[in-house]
Structure 1
């Protein structure tokens, strides 16, 4: 008897700029997995893993810690051979391999080099890119975060690293989630959708979402086989041998127990405004509280909530990750945050 060829394991690449809502989307998908075995690879820019920790502690049936692989301190688009491929092989070689793989990239990662890695002989016959999903922060687009300023356009050879990363993520997408739609009025949202749609390949669907909520059966069944049509997914970096992130940097700020989290939030807002911080996130040890507090900031918007009790023996530290364009004044930012 001739056995049929094994079906390739589908993988979904979740891309999107810093703070767009990728981790929220991944958590939503895990919570609505419909019983499927899903493995997750999380990549972050910086040496502190916040998103993977949040997903591992979310308590959903699909959030088993052994199914979450965190690759910190770098972007997958730069480390496919050293980190991504061995990780994929390890997942596929499990006695009970996953039925679907989710890959949440760093907010500064280019998705095309990652999709190209699926052509490598070691995994090509075993896994396929079911789809590339780009999560877009509608508010950031409406505020012109990714647009060229008149001053930049006047420069003869100007470049805008934020715009290039954002456009590369859109150009590789099979579906786009226009997230945080509830924070804009109808006219603003229509304008943002038109701006985003103008940058997309033909046929790419745009879905408006609030807190990244979307039908998981649709998103995890795109059947795009993206690794087979890379030529239709242009990139600003197609002519480059590699890609680095010299335009961006990150660092961690470690604090003790926080007596007044409200006052800290005010200082964070001040630091973000004064130094144009793109993303700030982390965990706080709040005085008198048995649970750790999560801090998530994108622009001037800061969210805080308690996610889980501190574990037995876990060091109760407050640690925040700061991400911005190259040239951040670390000492000045740390002084503002410390108060």
Structure 2
């Protein structure tokens, strides 16, 4: 099965390092590989680092951080071929990089699958930076290329400012989902999806995850993966959906991020179930179940 790759972008100071450190602390057994241009670009918390040698930093929990320098494809191939295999690869884009160009590179590497493009936006600075005559084009391009927009440093401003920025982003990047976060804390499942999905329980009793609701749906019939992907992607209350369904010809892995979806037809069998995640108060699990029922193929 192909390894999913997520690109994390955003202008300088948006909070990418804080987010990645939080993701590493929340990995909970998932093996994550972090790719950065240079180690100096990403300050991994010292208590997470177990060893560092020849461009590879070993991190507690079986995760690693790798500096790719001028050879991103080579670094991606090394991560793809690692034993034991990584569950997910994260690429931290530089502050002025365009995520779409990085995802194009990912698509060139056999055995990897482009997943979400996540762009961070500092609610205090993003509109000011977007008006800067030298930064304007870069900032807007980064935002437009996002599947998920994480609004950072929301604890430093009034709630009205956060809402104003969300409204502005809805015009700049209308396809992306916008999620406010503080201190880089967000449920890991909302960013990369957890494995195995069918064994997950809905998120509960964790303070920083309480902004989300989730449901795991196990279908009773064969599913049309394209119909299901389209339905989830067109539902603005679903932030993330990922999991395995049975089709007329085998098993399919469905992954939905914001309004983008894809599915892979697999040769081997997996436990069936799809986890759907959305913001509490907006997400209605019964709608997700309805989408699943409408995608059933009882005649297959």
Question: Which structure is larger by alpha-carbon Rg, 1 or 2?
Answer: 1
Cα distance in 1 between the residues matched to 2:47 and 2:71: 25
Cα distance in 2 between the residues matched to 1:38 and 1:30: 8
Cα distance in 2 between the residues matched to 1:13 and 1:188: 27
Give the Å deviation of 1:94: 1.7
Structure with the largest fraction of strand: 2
Report what 1:132 is aligned to: 117
1:169-188 matches, cutoff 5 A? 169-188=142-161
Instruction: Single out whichever of 174-183 and 160-169 deviates more from structure 2.
Output: 160-169
Report what 2:186 is aligned to: 214
Give the Å deviation of 1:161: 3.3
Report what 2:15 is aligned to: 21
Give the Å deviation of 1:66: 7.5
Give the Å deviation of 1:71: 3.7
- Does 2:53 match 1:68? no
CA displacement 1:156-196 (0-9 Å, x = unmatched):
xxxx3312111111111110101001111122222111112
Give the Å deviation of 1:95: 2.4
Give the Å deviation of 1:215: 0.6
CA displacement 1:87-121 (0-9 Å, x = unmatched):
0001111221211111111011111111111221x
Cα distance in 2 between the residues matched to 1:71 and 1:9: 18
User: Judging changes above 3 Å, is the alpha-carbon distance between structure 1 residues 98 and 163 closer, same or farther for their aligned structure 2 residues?
Assistant: same
Q: Secondary structure at the match of 1:139?
A: coil
1:126-205 matches, cutoff 5 A? 126-141=111-126, 144-148=128-132, 160-202=133-175, 204-205=176-177
Report what 2:104 is aligned to: 116
User: Judging changes above 3 Å, is the alpha-carbon distance between structure 1 residues 26 and 38 closer, same or farther for their aligned structure 2 residues?
Assistant: same
Whether the 8 Å contact between 1:43 and 1:71 is mirrored in structure 2 is yes
Instruction: Single out whichever of 192-201 and 172-181 deviates more from structure 2.
Output: 192-201
Cα distance in 1 between the residues matched to 2:116 and 2:63: 24
> Hey, which bits of structure 1, 4+ residues long, moved more than 6 A?
none
Cα distance in 2 between the residues matched to 1:116 and 1:168: 15
Structure 1 regions of 5+ residues with no counterpart?
1-6, 73-81, 149-159, 230-339
Q: Secondary structure at the match of 1:145?
A: helix
Report what 2:25 is aligned to: 31
Give the Å deviation of 1:56: 6.1
Cα distance in 2 between the residues matched to 1:212 and 1:28: 6
Report what 1:95 is aligned to: 83
Q: Secondary structure at the match of 1:198?
A: helix
Report what 1:154 is aligned to: none
1:259-278 matches, cutoff 5 A? none
User: Judging changes above 3 Å, is the alpha-carbon distance between structure 1 residues 192 and 102 closer, same or farther for their aligned structure 2 residues?
Assistant: same
Whether the 8 Å contact between 1:12 and 1:131 is mirrored in structure 2 is yes
